[in-house]
Amino acid sequence: TVIDDVADLNKLKFDYIVVGAGTSGVVVANRLTENKDISVLLLEAGGSNADVLDIEVPWLCLIATPDTAQDWNFTTTAQPGLNGRAIAYPRGFGLGGSSAVNYMIYTRGARDDFDRFARVTGDNSWSWDNLVPYMKKTERFSPPADRHNTTGQFDPSVHGFNGINTVSLQGFPTGIDSRVFAVTDELAEFPFNLDMNSGNTIGIGSTQVTIKDGVRSSSATSYLAPEFINRPNLHVLLNAHVTRVLPATTGSFRTVELVHGSNVTRLTVTAGKEVVLSAGSIGTPTILQHSGIGNASFLTQLGISPLVDLPSVGQNLTDHVLLLDSWFVNSTDTIDEANRNATLFGEQLAQWEDTHTGPLVNVAGSQIGWLRLPANASIFERFEDPASGPTAAHFEILFENGKLGPPTPEGTSYISISNALVAPTSRGFVTINSTDPLAAPLIHPNLLGTEVDIFIMREALRASARFAAAPSLKDYIITFDSFDPAFTDAQLEEYIRANSGTVFHPVGTAAMSAKGAGFGVVDPDLAVKEVSGLRIVDLSVLPFIPAAHTQAAAYIIAERAADIIKAAQC
């Protein structure tokens, strides 16, 4: 039930307060309110996001951020690894959080990623095998928008078909599909992978997406569908920017302070049992630091009384790096024409509005793949392999039937063969910079901050160039557009630093560690160390970044967290 009058906050009692109605927070609020005797208040800084076309139409995700009403509109600090550029750092603002603005690619990650979580936290319940039930529980694997025959495009045995969030395959064929798959037969370094969500990610396969019948499926449209949001024991307050958590009694942080809408008066509300922070990898450490939970000497310098000295808060920010690359092709059957021809695009949008079919039901990335450096790569002579294990990639390769970005000149057509660095060794931070809790924090993802990261990116581009030279693409690709495959190491590095950005996957800023470890922010049960009444459930808790697009991890962790919280009720 959406609370219309903020004065009602005083009249109601809440067992739990969940801060942030994003990907993870909504899952927790949904699962806890399955028990009608449990009352939950879900607080979201943004609005409802209902009926926003750029959110609903899959292809339009490309313009849903940055600099929009459903984005926090953050900017990073100047990034040394990007030649000093500061870049936009989108985060979803409003119901669904980042799941309402993301690009919908759905990848769980590698078996080794989760097994590493189990290893570093000393808690085997975070292992892949123990999380598979939650992977299936969240997922309703469904037919694609065009109802095409999906045999041979995924492995049904690894999926869930009765969950809440829809996962499907892309729903419109593209002109490059058969060529990309043909290359997996031609070049051994690019194997075919029937289902990258099986635990073994390595290889190239069909992209799985959170799209239901041609429309985005976010945590807001799935876990907050009418039958859930209308539960009498689930109370949702929109436009509620949480400023701090406060100790209700010494050490028990069950009180939340917030401002509502444009009213600057700070309100407080107290949970009977627990507060769950699900404000994401930027929001959660920001709230903690304003609350005096963080590096005590840093907070003192800033003028905030430290209440709990947890120096890991806001540290360990880890993100993936994306570089879009294109090649000229001799076809007109690409997205480039609709990108520059308003009439054609209008027809596609009309088709989507009529039937939720057509090219706009797709998202960028007709196929994706996950690849590793060779075991004898020279970088491993001096540095440890940063990947979690053999099922996890060092870099991703993403294909699209045309060039992404602004319209291209008349008569030009492209294929994109892009790359992401998915085993980064760089670590950055999120820190507050002012005592004003409404001020944006400093965000330093430290993209391409290490020699290992630039090495992996260079080799990823070289792999893309080898892909582009495969027999099935030889007559299709005319020449390079973005970078010359003959570039030297130095030229490639210069090109990468000048053109890379984020894949929007920040994690790790309130990381889990073993109970009693002298670092980290939460224990393996996601309870904040050294306090009571406060848990964190969002991607800030990940100690390492999975080699995958990260939304699936948010759903999986939140499903398990809900069970942890329920078990603690008794």
Q: Does residue number 45 form part of the binding site for ligand FAD (CB under 6 A)?
A: yes
- 253 or 495, CB closer to ligand FAD? 253
Q: Give CA 400 to chain center in angstroms.
A: 20
- 368 or 527, CB closer to ligand FAD? 368
Q: Quick one: which of 465, 461, 450 has its CA closest to 492?
A: 461
Q: Footprint of ligand FAD on residues 65-84 (CB under 6 A)? A: 65
Q: Quick one: which of 62, 133, 150, 22 has its CA closest to 406?
A: 62
* CB 413, min distance to ligand FAD, A: 24
- 335 or 554, CB closer to ligand FAD? 554
For residue 535, the cross-strand partners are 276, 527
* CB 44, min distance to ligand FAD, A: 5
E strands, 372-498, where?
A: 395-400, 414-421, 428-431, 442-444, 477-480
- 288 or 473, CB closer to ligand FAD? 288
Single residue of 48, 278, 334, 446 touching ligand FAD by CB under 6 A? 278
Q: Does residue number 223 form part of the binding site for ligand FAD (CB under 6 A)?
A: no
Q: Does residue number 21 form part of the binding site for ligand FAD (CB under 6 A)?
A: yes
Q: Does residue number 87 form part of the binding site for ligand FAD (CB under 6 A)?
A: no
Single residue of 17, 46, 334, 447 touching ligand FAD by CB under 6 A? 46
- 180 or 287, CB closer to ligand FAD? 287
Single residue of 131, 211, 554, 556 touching ligand FAD by CB under 6 A? 554
Q: Does residue number 279 form part of the binding site for ligand FAD (CB under 6 A)?
A: yes
Query: How far apart, in Å, are the Cα atoms of 358 and each of 116, 174, 322, 334, 362?
Result: 41, 11, 27, 14, 8
Contact predicate 537/7, CB 8 Å: no
**Run of H or E including 288:** helix 280-290
Q: Does residue number 287 form part of the binding site for ligand FAD (CB under 6 A)?
A: yes
Q: Which residue is nearest to ligand FAD (CB)?
A: 22
- 258 or 335, CB closer to ligand FAD? 258
Q: Does residue number 33 form part of the binding site for ligand FAD (CB under 6 A)?
A: no
Torsion angle, CA of 190/191/195/199, rounded to 10 degrees?
-90
Q: Does residue number 105 form part of the binding site for ligand FAD (CB under 6 A)?
A: yes
* CB 232, min distance to ligand FAD, A: 23
Q: Does residue number 102 form part of the binding site for ligand FAD (CB under 6 A)?
A: yes
Q: Which two tokens stand for residue 248?
A: 């209700």
Query: How far apart, in Å, are the Cα atoms of 253 and each of 26, 77, 256, 330?
Result: 21, 31, 8, 62
SS3 at position 75? strand
Q: Select from 39-47, 246-254, 343-351, 526-534 the region that touches ligand FAD (CB under 6 A).
A: 39-47
How far apart are alpha carbons 143 and 148 in whole angstroms?
Answer: 8
Backbone angles phi, psi at 454, to 5 degrees: -70, -35
- 22 or 449, CB closer to ligand FAD? 22
Contact predicate 387/424, CB 8 Å: no
Q: Which two tokens stand for residue 450?
A: 């290490």
Q: Does residue number 236 form part of the binding site for ligand FAD (CB under 6 A)?
A: no
Contact predicate 526/541, CB 8 Å: yes
Q: Does residue number 396 form part of the binding site for ligand FAD (CB under 6 A)?
A: no
Contact predicate 32/566, CB 8 Å: yes
Q: Does residue number 280 form part of the binding site for ligand FAD (CB under 6 A)?
A: yes
Single residue of 504, 527, 528, 544 touching ligand FAD by CB under 6 A? 504
Q: Select from 33-41, 162-170, 280-288, 458-466 the region that touches ligand FAD (CB under 6 A).
A: 280-288
- 362 or 472, CB closer to ligand FAD? 362
At position 94, the amino acid (one-letter code) is G
Q: Select from 18-26, 33-41, 164-172, 346-354 the region that touches ligand FAD (CB under 6 A).
A: 18-26
Q: Does residue number 212 form part of the binding site for ligand FAD (CB under 6 A)?
A: no
**Backbone dihedral region of 150: left (phi > 0), alpha (psi from -120 to 50 degrees) or beta?**
alpha
At position 235, the amino acid (one-letter code) is H
Single residue of 505, 529, 535, 560 touching ligand FAD by CB under 6 A? 505
For residue 241, the cross-strand partners are 259
Q: Does residue number 29 form part of the binding site for ligand FAD (CB under 6 A)?
A: no
Site size for ligand FAD (CB under 6 A): 42
- 49 or 413, CB closer to ligand FAD? 49
Q: Does residue number 169 form part of the binding site for ligand FAD (CB under 6 A)?
A: no
How far apart are alpha carbons 456 and 438 in whole angstroms?
Answer: 38
Q: Does residue number 197 form part of the binding site for ligand FAD (CB under 6 A)?
A: no
Q: Footprint of ligand FAD on residues 453-472 (CB under 6 A)? A: none
Contact predicate 567/32, CB 8 Å: no
**Run of H or E including 309:** strand 308-309
For residue 101, the cross-strand partners are none
DSSP 139-197: EEE---TT----TTTS-GGG--SSSSEEEEE-SS--TTHHHHHHHHHH-TTS-B-S-TT
Single residue of 98, 334, 431, 446 touching ligand FAD by CB under 6 A? 98
* CB 104, min distance to ligand FAD, A: 5
Which residues contribute to the site for ligand FAD (CB under 6 A)? Answer: 19-25, 43-46, 65, 90-93, 97-99, 101-105, 240-242, 278-281, 283, 287, 504-505, 538-539, 549-552, 554
